[in-house]
Amino acid sequence: MPHRNVTLFDPVQVGNIALANRIVMAPLTRNRAPDATPTALMAEYYSQRASAGLLISEATAISHQGQGYADVPGLYAEEQVEAWKPVTQAVHKAGGKIVCQLWHVGRVSHTSLQPHGGQPVAPSAVIAKTKTVLLKNGIPEFVDVSEPRALQAYELPDIVHAYAAAARNAVQTAGFDGVEIHAANGYLLDQFLKAGSNQRRDDFGGSIENRSRFLLEVVRAVTDAVGDGKVGIRLSPVTTANDAFDPDPQPLFDYLVRELAAYHLAYVHIIEGATGGARVLSDRPFDYTGLRRAYRAAAGRGAWMVNNALDKPLAQEALKGGADLVAFGRAFISNPDLVERLRKGKTLAESDRTTWYGGNAKGYTDYPTLKG
């Protein structure tokens, strides 16, 4: 039932995670992890924003093969896992909660980022009409992604295992409060879901059930690895990001959330519209209320998180309409005290777009708070 009197600042239990408020910091790729290893600067960055009810880490690769951008963190090597510990400790010391977003980019990569310079992998050998970020002398450079090769069915169990291993690394060793499976924005799991990128004719292609199979195997493995109530999932039914497309997304995602209801997820994180763009796409209509109802009707108990271009009035309206959590992305870049600014109705600071990807403290940890 809709939560008629809920505000952004009310506490909420999300699976096994108790949150101080319903404001979530969405995952934001910042390309400041050289050699895929977190840094002390990242600990400062996340702890500055720990007043959010929940922080979702920047997308974090589950394997070297899963890497698709320069200087993004990983969670597959021992030194990476150890380097995440000061980050989670800093967030917890500041009173916050943080989950790690588990990521495999699939075809959205470049040969220079892959093991031994190999081709990126994908459901099918269909190149994405998109770009990735490389760093040249510390300067971000946007380049076309490389042509992928199609994954063989025998390779898929190893990727499922990599998701589970990364989840264990996150929760049992690195100190995260949970994990979020990144199944959105045209990356590997989303590539399997959507017919535009999945042209397979085996058990992982064709029908809605087959295209959902790989994702559901990952969900099962990750929840088995870390336990109930610690796993969220991110979905983007109609986004145009990274050349993602499905001609009929409503039945696909209605089916998917009904299947997800069988797992005791902490939350379901939905990007409404085009990621970082319009909330409503005239050529891709979608019933998000119907999607939530399908999940609840199937006895799905996870918190419902909404995301994309939401301001305070829209966020409050979403809560009144039945959402449990609201994610804010870019606003957190330049407003480390976003929760306080929203609470007090203060003007939000603008971010320097030239510092979004790569660099140092400038445009990362040097944004002032209301208190200076």
Give the count of beta carbons closer than 10 Å to the beta carbon of residue 330: 16
Q: DSSP character for 286?
A: -
Closest CA to 256 of 291, 224, 302: 291
Q: DSSP character for 173?
A: I
Collapsing DSSP states into helix, strand and coil, what is residue 152?
coil
Radius of gyration of the chain (CA): 19
- Active-site hit among 45, 69, 76, 187: 187
Q: DSSP character for 26?
A: P
User: b/e per residue, 233-268, with b = 16+ CB within 10 A?
Assistant: bbbbbbbbbbbbebeebbebbbbbbbbbbebbbbbb
> Is 327:306 a contact under the CB 8 Å cutoff?
yes
> Is 241:275 a contact under the CB 8 Å cutoff?
yes
Q: What tokens appear for 70 in the block?
A: 């320069």
**46 counts as catalytic:** no
CA dihedral in degrees (284, 183, 113, 361; nearest 10)? Answer: 90
CA–CA separation, 205 vs 337, rounded Å? 45
Just list the catalytic residues.
Answer: 187
